[in-house]
Amino acid sequence: MIAARMPQPELVEPRDSGAVAFLNTDGEPLALAMEAKNVSMWYGSKRAIDDVSLDMPAKAVTAIIGPSGCGKSTFIRALNRMHELVPRARIEGSVFLHGQNLYANSMDPAVVRRRVGMVFQKSNPFPTMSIGENAIVGLRLNGVRDRKFLNERLEQSLRMAALWDEVKDDLHKSGTSLSGGQQQRLCIARALAVEPEVLLMDEPCSALDPIATAKIEELIHGLKTQYTIIIVTHNMQQAGRISDFTAFFYMGRLIEIGSTTKIFTNPNEKQTEDYITGRFG
């Protein structure tokens, strides 16, 4: 049961740009890890995201919820420039990481992706590599050679993913020899090894059983002291359990953003309330 929370933030009236500001209980603005401003996204001629502006506070978990097809998976791929890898994909607007525009001409997408990591719905440890190799592959293939450093990061990231004790004697075994939940934690370790500033998670537990899911939720709770986490989930209860802030998307638009408590007990928008209470799914 995730009891301890950050001091309950409040929502302030929307600024002109449409973004909302977060204040903590003392009235001070929370540090933001990422900001999306007027982001619109297309697949070919089909518009998937419509003018979304969203602030994501640092060292907190922001959940993105909404019915199937509302664009949450699409939106999250704007945050690490993965959307542009899809043929005929287009994006407008800007995304800032600690104040830096990730879509500036001078920004190399590969660098962006190192700073904003991602974990996918279906766990995908590389089949030709061992557990140990999988964990540090991001470092190795990005040019890190220092043996000592690699070994340190290997242990650190596997510990952060709560996997170290289970695999420390089996690091040479194939990455695919683990169970589904363990594989996903390996993918989390792999993403963390390159020390990103933000970790994106696209429905990371939807393919896992409840026990594995609980392990990962516990893990997320531990990670948020060090990382900013944006998690897409179709499971509202999960959002309620682990996130500090929740954004509700519907049909490519951001309907409402607020602290999780507020969204789930007293949302502003009727659409949000309808979704939360299960009037549509």
Partner 1 sequence: MPATTIDEADAIHSAQARMSLPSRFGDKAFYWLTFSMAFAVVLLVILIGWQLGEGSWQAIQKFGFHFVTTSTWDPVAEQYGALPFIYGTALSSLIALLIAVPLSIATAVYLTELAPLWIRQPVVSLIEMLAAIPSVILGLWGIFVMIPWLRDHPFPFLQRILGWTPFFSGPIYGPCMLAGGIIVAIMVLPIITSVSREILRSVPDLQREAAYALGGTRWEVTRIAVLSYARKGLFGAMILGLGRALGETMAVTMVIGNTPQIAASLFKPGYTLASVIANEFTEATTDMYLQALFEIGLVLFGVTILVNLLAQLLLKTITAGAAPDRVQ
Partner 2 sequence: MNMRTQRKDHHSWRKFKSTLVSGLTFCSAVLVIAPLGLVFFHVLMSGIGAVNFEFFTNLPKPVGAPGGGMANAIVGTLELLALASIIGIPVGVLGGIFLTEYGTARVNAVLRFIADVLNGVPSIIWGVVVYGLIVLRFKSFSAYAGGLALGLIMIPLILRTTEEVILLVPVGYREAALALGIARWKTIVQIVVKTASRGIITGILIALARVGGETAPLLFTAFGNHFWNHDLSEPIAALPLQIFTYAISPYDDWHRQAWAGALVLVTGVFCVNVLVRFVTRVRTASA
Residues making contact with partner 2 (CB under 8 A)? 80, 82, 85, 87, 110-115, 117-118, 120, 122, 124, 126-128, 137-138, 141-142, 187, 190-191, 194
Backbone angles phi, psi at 10, to 5 degrees: -120, 160
User: Which lies closer to partner 2 via its Cβ, residue 31 or residue 111?
Assistant: 111
Where b means 16+ CB within 10 Å and e means fewer, 24-39 reads: eeeeeebebbbbbbeb
Closer residue to partner 1 in complex, CB, 98/221: 98
Which residue's CB is nearer to partner 2, number 153 or number 262? 153
d(CA 126, CA 94): 32
Q: Which does 60 bind (CB under 5 to 8 A by kind): partner 1, partner 2, none?
A: none
Q: x-or-dash pattern for partner 1, window 178-197, by CB under 8 A?
A: ---------------xxx-x
Q: How far is the CB of 195 from partner 1 (least distance, A)?
A: 4
153 binds, among partner 2, partner 1, none (CB under 5 to 8 A by kind): partner 1
Question: Minimal distance in Å, beta carbon 118 to partner 1?
Answer: 13
SS3 92: strand
Candidate ranges 104-112, 125-133, 239-247, 263-271; the one touching partner 1 (CB under 8 A): 104-112
Among the candidate windows 7-15, 81-89, 162-170, 262-270, which touches partner 1 by CB under 8 A? 81-89
User: How far apart are CB 138 and partner 1 at their closest, in Å?
Assistant: 8
Total of residues contacting partner 1 (CB under 8 A): 24
CA distance 247 to 54: 8
Q: Which residue in 111, 179, 180, 270 binds partner 1 (CB under 8 A)?
A: 111
3 or 141: CB nearest partner 2: 141
- Annotate 59-75 with b (16+ C-beta within 10 A) or e (fewer): bbbbbbbbeeebbbbbb
Residue 197's binding partner out of partner 1, partner 2, none, with CB under 5 to 8 Å set by partner kind? partner 1
Residue 236, Cα to own-chain centre: how many angstroms?
15
CB of 29 to partner 1, least distance (A): 16
Cα–Cα distance between 59 and 91 in angstroms, integer? 27
Pairing of strands 245-250, 46-57: unpaired
H runs (alpha helix) in 90-160: 109-115, 131-140, 147-160
In this structure, the chain runs to a length of 281
Q: Per rule CB under 8 A, is residue 153 in the interface with partner 1? A: yes
Q: Which of 204, 192, 193, 162 is nearest to 76 (CA)?
A: 204
Nearest to 77 by CA among 55, 105, 109, 45: 109
Nearest distance from C-beta of residue 194 to partner 2, angstroms? 6
Q: Any contact of residue 100 with partner 1 (CB under 8 A)? A: yes
Residues 6+ apart with CB under 8 A from 274: 280
Cβ contact 234:206 at 8 Å:
yes
Contact residues for partner 1 (CB under 8 A)? Answer: 85-87, 98-100, 106, 108, 110-111, 114-115, 139, 142-144, 146, 149, 153, 193-195, 197, 226
